[in-house]
Amino acid sequence: MTQLHTPKASRNQERGRLSFMGSVSPSRGRFRDRGGEGGGTSRRAPGTFCLVPAPKMPAGRRSLLVTSATLVSLASSMALAAPAAVAVPTPTPGPSASASARPSATPPAAMSTVGGARLGQPGTQVQLAGGAPVLPKDLTARSWIVADAESGQVLAAHNAHWRLPPASTLKMLFADTVLPRFPRTQTHQVTVQDLAGVGSGSSMVGIKEGETYTVHDLWLGVFLRSGNDAVHVLSAMNGGVPATVQEMNAHAEELQALDTHVITPDGYDAPGQVSSAYDLTLFARSGLQKKDFREYCSTVRAKFPGATTTKKGKSARSSFEIQNTNRLLAGDYDISQYPGIAGVKNGNTTNAGATFTGVAERGGRVLLVTVMNPEKPDHNEVYKESAALLDWGFQAAGKVTPVGELVRPRGGAGASAQPGAGDSGGESGQAGGGSGASGGAGASANPSGSPVAAATGSGHATGVGTAMAIAAGLMLLLGGGAFLVNRRWPLPDLVRRRR
């Protein structure tokens, strides 16, 4: 099976270094446990990008907070019960593992409704408001999505849950699953068994058996050259391909990426291997919580170790340059580097066609876009349609009604799934602990001999106790409301382009 991962070499020179800012989260220790710490991939000195101070709460948010407090007070006074949690809808069953990997030309009539009912409908979903620009013309992709990376709002989508072959964009899930397992300085000597099973025609970074590579080298090979050889070596270090595939499927379920079924860790075409534009966007959003993930996917070019040679009894090892195959990041002869781009991953196989997920920032807003399998045969068409959708998204933000949302991982903010990665998840856990502490403090302040506790037998005292309980609960709800209004998930920082 012929694989078509690697596009032609770029004829453009690097025109600037792109990177995400360093995390402002205090949870560095937890991040280090997951292998997320390191020096980065940029060849420039650290400190290229300045930190952006946290913005003051806009008046709109203050009004929202006051309004939420008023509504909570009204609800408490009317003794309304708290609404039950809404379960995430179960997606429509997709093709089995034995089905053909090549999709039909028509999307299913009903697809998954994870993230909103409209996302499960075939065709284009968008709700324009006054002054909103129309969608770009000549979009030919079978599936695409444009979403706000921070709020998770889906601005527009087209067959968002159509289960299609993902190609190498599946490597985002691979990285999000495996990257935290090994420190980047760890070394590994490659064996013949490590490279067994790499598909014919795969994109390769050029790993040689018998040579030693750092984990940092291997991840550069994965992100920049989409190297299936690097994926297989890291999978071997992780317990083998079957174990890695099992972990990827489990992590996809944890992220609520329920359209995805993994057969190969590198995205190589295989019957039954599918994902969706919606799920690929979830993978990117989760991966971007990790410092190393952000740095690798935004690296334009790097040096990669070559073969070791011996001359006159002395051994020497050469290196060669590799360049990112993401054309919105590196540029090409018929497409320019997209302003504010910072990754994420591209792919191209026989069954999947061209696929791409990208993240870009403009005017303080960060957007994610995923495009799968454009039918127009033009060179770099997947990047051209992605750039057009990003342009539209930046112009339309705030002028469209969202048609859905990017759901959070199971368990709320996903702090347990991504320790140190999602600041809001960690702080949410602390807020919950604080609520418990407040309750404990209240109990200590009212021992069994206190007037409130001693008077529970009388109706009047019971009413007083109930009123105090309502007041305490109201304070906790207000605190939680203030937290929710002021926190956004997922990105702990913004991407900035140094000009």
**What positions carry a catalytic annotation?**
168, 171, 226
> Are residues 384 and 378 in contact, defined by beta-carbon separation less than 8 angstroms?
yes
What spatial distance separates the first Cα and last Cα of the chain, rounded to whole Å? 43
User: Angle of helix 171-178 relative to helix 277-287, nearest 10 degrees?
Assistant: 30
Residues 6+ positions from 497 with CB-CB distance below 8 Å: 16, 18, 339, 340, 361
Q: Distance between alpha carbon 312 and the CA centroid of its chain, in Å?
A: 50
Rounded distance between C-alpha atoms, residue 231 and residue 175, angstroms? 9
Q: Residue 148: helix, strand or coil by DSSP?
A: strand
The tokens describing 407, both together, are 């759901």
Q: What is the DSSP-derived secondary structure letter of residue 120?
A: G
Q: Residue 197 pairs with which residues in a beta bridge?
A: none
For residue 339, the tally of other CB atoms under 10 A from its CB is 16
Residue 61, SS3 per DSSP:
helix
Residue 60 makes CB contacts below 8 A (sequence gap 6+) with none
List residues bridging with 149 in a β-sheet. none
Distance, in Å, from the CA atom of 409 to the CA atom of 405, rounded to the nearest integer, reads 13
Is residue 405 exposed (0-12), middle (13-18) or buried (19+ Cβ within 10 Å)?
Answer: middle
Listed in order, strand segments (DSSP E) in 177-217 are 187-189, 212-214
**Rounded CA gap, 365 and 385, in Å?**
20
The first and second tokens of residue 373, run together, are: 């399998």
Residue with tokens 């342009």: 391
* Angle of the 171-178 helix axis to the 215-225 helix axis, nearest 10: 160
To the nearest 10 degrees (0 to 180), the angle between helices 59-77 and 459-486 is: 160
